[in-house]
């Protein structure tokens, strides 16, 4: 599932630096992307939640912790 999460995020944020940790439907995802420049943390998280929505709704991702920031 970690690779699926990374690939889905890369599809929308191709410049992103991504790290995924976790298992058993509980993941922590770290994402740095230029797309986040000027956006609030809430808006950054909304982007990631929208990308992973199908996996959250299906239960494949049950708990998701996000750490996001603009790419430096």
CATH number of the domain that 14 lies in? Answer: 3.30.300.90
* Residue 71 confidence (pLDDT): 93
pLDDT of 41: 98
Which pLDDT belongs to residue 72?
Answer: 85
Q: What's the pLDDT score for residue 50?
A: 98
Domain carrying residue 14? 2-69
Q: Provide φ and ψ at 62, rounded to 5°.
A: -100, -45
Regions in the chain scoring below 70 on pLDDT: none
pTM: 0.93
Question: Furthest-apart CA pair in the chain: how many Å?
Answer: 34
- Find where tokens 């599932």 sit: 1
- How many domains are there within the chain? 1
């Amino acid at each position: 599932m970690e690779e699926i999460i990374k690939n889905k995020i890369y599809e929308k944020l191709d410049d992103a630096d991504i790290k995924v940790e976790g298992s058993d439907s509980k993941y922590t995802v770290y994402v740095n992307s230029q797309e986040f420049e000027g956006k609030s943390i809430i808006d950054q998280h909304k982007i990631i939640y929208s990308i992973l929505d199908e996996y959250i709704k299906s239960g494949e991702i049950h708990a998701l912790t996000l750490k996001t920031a603009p790419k430096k």
